[in-house]
Every structure is written in C-alpha cells, then in structure tokens.
Amino acid sequence: MRGEIEGGSTSLRHTVHMALEAGRGSGVVGLAFEIFLIALIVSNAVVVSLDSVAGLAAAYGRYFQIFEAVSVAVFTLEYGLRLWSAPEDPRYSARPLLDRLRYMLQPYMLIDLIAIAPAYIALFVPVADLRILRLFRLFRLLKIARYSPAVTTLIHVLSLERRALFGTLLLLICMMSLSAEGMYIIEGTVQPKVFGDLPTCMYWAIITLTTVGYGDITPITALGRAWAGVTAILGLGIFALPVGIIASAFMTEIHRRDFVVTSGMLARIPFFAGLDIETMSEVMAALRSQMVAPHTPIIVAGEAASSMYFVVSGLAKSERATTTDGVRRKATLGPGEVIAADAVLAGRAHDANVFAHTPMRLLALSYQDLAMLLRKYPKLRRRIGKTAARAEQKFYRHRSRSEEESSVDSN
C-alpha cells in the first residue's frame, strides 16, 4: 500500500513538474497554466499602475487589495510547487534538500522570490512609502521571461557577447572622461559655477554623448560649442557599437535556432538513407526544425503522440517504466536516431519520457504530415516500423543495467 502511495505521489510530482517547467510543451494542462500565469503577471502590472491614481485608489482600493492578496497566494503556491517538484529534474534529484536549496538560487527562482517577498515583509515591517512596495511588485513582470523564448535568447546573447559589451563600456567611460576633461579646461574658467568641477562635466559629457542634451548645462564659448559638437558626433558612434553587437548576435542566434533543413543534414540520419530524390524532397518539405535546451522534455509518457523526431545533434535521455515487471528501462539517444516512431505509427500515447540531456537539434514530422506521406509512399511504413523495432531493442539492451539500478534504489 505504501509503495502505491509513493508511486502516486511521484507520478503527481512529475505531472506538476512538467506542467510548471515545460509549460505548453507538456500538453493542455501546462499550456493552460502558462497562459493563466502570464495573464496574472500582466494584470498585476496594470493594477499597480491603476493603484497609483488617487481617484481610482479611493474608489477601488479594496478590490485592488483583494486582487493583490489572491496574486500573492497564487505566486506563493507556484513557488512552493516548483520547489516540491524540483527533484524531477535530474540536476536536482541526488540530494533532495541540498539540491532544492541550489535550485532556489537559480535566476528565475530568485525572481519568483522577489515577486512575493515584499508582500510578506510588509505584514511585519511597516512601510511608510508605499511606492517602494509598488516598485517591487513591478518585478513580477520579470517572471514573463520564463515563458518568452525571445527574452531567454536575448539574455543568452548578452552572456555570449559580455566581453565585447564590456569593451564598449570601457571605451564609453574613456570617451566620457576625455570629453569632461576637455570641457573642464575650455569652460571651467569662463563658467566656474557650471563647469567648475569634473563630476559636473562628466554629467554633461554623458548627456551629450547619448545625444539627449537636456540643455540645463551648455557651453557659451565658440571652442566649447565646437567641443560639444564633436562629443555628440562621437557619441553616435560609441552607442552604435553595443547596439550593432547585440543585434548581430541576436539574429545569429535566431538563425541558429531555426536552422534550415538540407539534404546533407538528412544524409547523416540512417532513416533517410536510400530514399529516392522525389521522396526525399517531399519529406524535407514536411520536416520542421527546432532547437531544444538541455533538460527540456521532448515527449511525455501518457500524452498523445503528435510528432516523431529525428536527432540531428545532441543527446537525449529516454526512460520507460514497464507495466509488466515495473523495471525502469533507460536509454541514451544520439545523432541519427528517431524518437517516438512507434507511438506515431500506431497512433497511440507515448509510453516513455524523453528529455534533452544536452542542447539538441531536432527535425519534427507531425502525425498529419506522416499520414500524408504514408498514403503517397507506402514503403515508408515498413521503414518506420523497422526503426521503431530497433528503438525497442535499445531499451532491452539496457535491461540488465536498469534492473541493477532498480534493485539498488529499492534497497
């Protein structure tokens, strides 16, 4: 009885983990939860803005407070569920307590904590200026980064180009210092109250380099104005550098993710070996390329099979718990192998969990496109059947090792 309860708890924890971490990739429940959280985050930003309007706060302040309490409760529940289900991620499964603490230090988890912590602090520590609380509540907008591939890609690009961006920052600081020093020498004696010290000149320099030009501090001599003009022109070039670096790297990353399917790429996958040109061209038109980040689910046991996948690069881990002997069978899938061929061909649900172990490039063939190809090229059915049989044998080649792991776990 205890084993059944523990098994049910593990299954529930896995379902929760998939819904929270995989989102729309885990099925309808994950998609619904993701949409709900995004709507709640955006609604919080709107409510914070409306609450700052005196008339609206007086008329609807009570409703705003109720909405805030409900939002904090939902975000707290989400945070708790993420911590509870963290061991379902292989990276945090070895030591439940210590790995959960390590999981709490992940950037997205820190953002989640910042989003709810001020509400609990305000219960015990009186805050005189409510604008501080509003500022922290707006941090909840950062939670959307978890659900936005574009934001994730931008963060990755900034990390990759950090050295180049740091170089442009140093160049900007040097340019600001030189411009400030020049204006201090030129205008310092003419306008001692305006350009009489370097910090004020540095303020003028950064405002001029950015071409904002508030006009609160201006040179009056001909040489000073000429120096200001040169500073403004140099500012255009200085600030164009980081913009160009980020834009170029961002587009490169986008193109890398949406890679083009080529015949040379298909030639490296055994499944396509020997196909005639006509069949190959039809298959190429139906395939969809995609990048998968490490530890992201590719297929989930129990979900309806909607696509089969061909591994172009990277490694995936597959795990199947059979119903006959209860032994967990694991396998590693690498370049050239096919995922979910048997489930898609039979039109049934997946019986294994497969997640990316490293960054992966996949080619996806949907169930609808496969049905069209099978009607046109019946020989493909035999080929897919053989591929599925080889994948099944791969599980059983790992049987002895899996049984040993299972006996160790039970002991």
- CA dist 299 and 22 (Å) reads 10
- CA dist 105 and 125 (Å) reads 25
Residue 176: both structure tokens together: 């600001």
- CA dist 199 and 201 (Å) reads 5
Check the CA dihedral 270-272-275-276 and report its sign.
Answer: negative
Closest by CA position to 365, among listed 340, 385, 348: 340
Residue 11: both structure tokens together: 């299954």
Q: Sorting pLDDT into bands at 50, 70 and 90, what band is 166?
A: very high
Residues 47-98: pLDDT tens digits? Answer: 888 888 888 888 988 998 899 889 989 999 999 999 898 887 777 777 878 8
Residues 6-24: pLDDT tens digits? Answer: 444 557 887 888 778 766 6
**In the prediction, which pLDDT does 407 show?**
44
**In the prediction, which pLDDT does 70 show?**
92
Q: Sorting pLDDT into bands at 50, 70 and 90, what band is 207?
A: very high
Residues 243-286: pLDDT tens digits? Answer: 888 888 887 776 665 555 666 667 677 887 777 777 777 787 78
Residues 185-206: pLDDT tens digits? Answer: 999 889 998 898 999 999 999 9
- Model's pTM, two decimal places? 0.58
**In the prediction, which pLDDT does 5 show?**
35
- CA dist 134 and 66 (Å) reads 15
Write phi, then psi, for 260 (nearest 5 degrees).
-85, 135
Burial of 286 (C-beta count, 10 Å sphere; 0-12/13-18/19+): middle
Is pLDDT above 70 for 25?
no
Q: Classify 306 as helix, strand or coil.
A: coil
Q: How many CB atoms lie within 10 A of CB 344?
A: 25
Q: Sorting pLDDT into bands at 50, 70 and 90, what band is 410?
A: very low
The beta-strand segments (E) located in 285-401 are: 288-292, 297-299, 307-313, 316-321, 328-333, 338-339, 353-356, 360-366
**Share of residues in the chain with pLDDT > 90 (%):** 16
Residues 117-146: pLDDT tens digits? Answer: 878 877 777 655 556 666 677 777 778 777
Q: What single-letter amino acid sits at 240?
A: A
- CA dist 92 and 122 (Å) reads 32
Is pLDDT above 60 for 155?
yes
Between the alpha carbon of residue 79 and those of residues 13, 74, 91, 112, the distances in Å are 14, 9, 18, 7
Q: Sorting pLDDT into bands at 50, 70 and 90, what band is 404?
A: very low
Q: Sorting pLDDT into bands at 50, 70 and 90, what band is 380?
A: confident
